[in-house]
Amino acid sequence: MHPQVWIKVNTHVDEGIAELIKALSTFSQLHTLESCEGTSSQGAWVCFRYGEDKPDSWLCLADFVLGYFGPGLAREIGDLATVSIVVTPCGQTQAELAVRPGSVTVTAKAVCKLSRTFANAYVLSKSTSHWNEGPFYYSRVKTILNAIDKQINAPHRSRPH
């Protein structure tokens, strides 16, 4: 296999969500998978992955979504949009951004603002291989994973009857 690099590709998207897709593409390692502008009663949505295509890419996605993007979006626009991480039926990990009807423009503006802040933070931690080794969420994710690992490996106790 040849070395690969990230590029942005032009593609067709629903007109009503184009500005949000454009805003998301300002994050250099964010790769949109599919999207829909929704209807007047059902909101828009975007599925995406984050980070390099490696077996542990879920950790980069979790770090980005839980440590930066999700909390930042909540601070900027409250519950007008939510982001979650899911494992698809085929075992792939991805994020799903759900936007309330009529909130695509305000969400796109918030994403642009977060992207600018993220770019500045990334520059500050550029000595590391990627941002999640920097000053954000990585240590908390590692702590959570260690706690889960301890629970999994702890001796099983029988439940009282």
The pTM (predicted TM-score) of the whole model is 0.74
- Residue 85, Ramachandran bin (φ over 0: left; ψ between -120 and 50: alpha; else beta): beta
7 occurs within a structural domain: no
Which of helix, strand or coil describes residue 50? strand
How high is the pLDDT of residue 144? 59
Domain extent, residue 21, equals 15-153
Of residues 83, 103, 127, 144, the one with CA closest to residue 16: 103
CATH number at residue 109: 3.30.1360
103 occurs within a structural domain: yes
21 occurs within a structural domain: yes
Instruction: Read off the DSSP letter of residue 65.
Output: I
49 occurs within a structural domain: yes
Element (H, E) at 81: strand 81-87
Task: Quote the CA–CA distance of 1 and 92 in Å, as a whole number.
Answer: 21
77 occurs within a structural domain: yes
5 occurs within a structural domain: no
pLDDT averaged over consecutive 10-residue blocks of the chain (161 residues)? Answer: 72 93 92 94 95 80 91 96 94 94 97 87 48 48 61 58 51
Total number of domains in the chain: 1
4 occurs within a structural domain: no
10 occurs within a structural domain: no
Token readout for 116 is 């600018």
